[in-house]
Amino acid sequence: MRFGVVVFPGSNCDHDCHYVLDSVLEQDVDYVWHGSTDVSRYDCLVLPGGFAYGDYLRTGAVARFSPVMSAVEKFAESGRMVIGICNGFQILMEAGLLPGAIMRNVGLKFICRFVDVRVETINTPWTSAAHQGQVLRIPIAHNEGNYQVPADVLEEMKRKGQIVFRYCSPEGSVLPDFNPNGATENIAGICNAQGNVLGMMPHPERASEAEIGSSDGMVIWQSLLAHCGV
């Protein structure tokens, strides 16, 4: 399977994603500069976390207009796989590929720590290797992670099974005390109605080896590979 990791000016998690895809999962992977317009050779595109140029205006608001994003939109519309992590999730929302918006964390502080997230659905290419309600220990690192969405859109997302992950207790209880950033209904990750585009605030690439604290993020990568027949 061939992956493309999109690199925006200022990105700092692109190397993390490349390392996991190349050295841990042993898949073909390239860096894709944000000025590129041809992504036809890839099976999955990764918009990594970290930062992107123009975040001082609004996270992802400028990166959304990078030349590569037109190609990403067509890529997603064709049914191929796209994952946006943290800042990449924000860019996907700015581009209209996922519903909702991100605001500053409640408390207005940057948060960098492990959290627990519950798998809400296994009916996606990204969670098919998980079991319903499985709790994953994955880190977050963001200043803007407070996911918000209008009530009517939220209800439609629930109906279509687009809510993929929620912040929870280690035992899997979804409670306000375990919501690190104030996100609506503890939402940590969503997909589009077709399921081929995933956006999530936690960093699965930072939880892909037990030596660094958790390998729970592998569930997401392994689900994707299995879905694609690898």
pLDDT digits over 142-164, tens only?
A: 999 999 999 999 999 999 999 99
Q: For residue 159, which amino acid is it?
A: R
| Catalytic position from the list 94, 120, 144, 205 | 205
Domain range enclosing 159: 2-227
pLDDT at 170 over 70: yes
Nearest to 85 by CA among 40, 130, 126: 126
Question: What CATH number is associated with residue 129?
Answer: 3.40.50.880
54: left (phi over 0), alpha (psi -120 to 50) or beta: left
> What's the total number of domains in the chain?
1
Active-site residue, 203 included: yes
- pLDDT score of 47: 97
pLDDT digits over 104-117, tens only?
A: 999 999 999 999 99
Rounded-to-integer distance, Cα 35 and Cα 141, Å: 26
pLDDT digits over 181-200, tens only?
A: 999 999 999 999 999 999 99
Average pLDDT over residues 9-32: 95
- pLDDT score of 50: 83
Model confidence at 10, pLDDT cuts 50, 70, 90, reads confident
Q: Which residues contact 220 (CB under 8 A, 6 or more apart)?
A: 83, 126, 127, 198, 204
- pLDDT score of 58: 77
Model confidence at 55, pLDDT cuts 50, 70, 90, reads confident
Active-site residue, 86 included: yes
**Across the chain, what does the average pLDDT equal?**
95
pLDDT at 77 over 80: yes
| Catalytic position from the list 18, 34, 142, 203 | 203
Active-site residue, 18 included: no
Q: Residues of 59-83 as b/e, b for ≥16 C-beta within 10 angstroms?
A: bbebbbebebbebbbebbeeebbbb
Radius of gyration in angstroms for the set of CA atoms belonging to the chain, rounded to a whole number? 16
Q: E strands within the chain?
A: 2-7, 28-33, 44-47, 81-85, 101-103, 111-119, 135-142, 146-148, 163-168, 187-191, 197-200
Cα-based distances in Å from 65 to 34, 54, 171: 10, 10, 41
Rounded-to-integer distance, Cα 85 and Cα 111, Å: 15
pLDDT at 56 over 80: no
Average pLDDT over residues 9-34: 95
| Catalytic position from the list 13, 17, 86, 191 | 86
Query: Percent of the chain beyond pLDDT 70?
Result: 100
Average pLDDT over residues 83-97: 96
Rounded-to-integer distance, Cα 106 and Cα 108, Å: 5
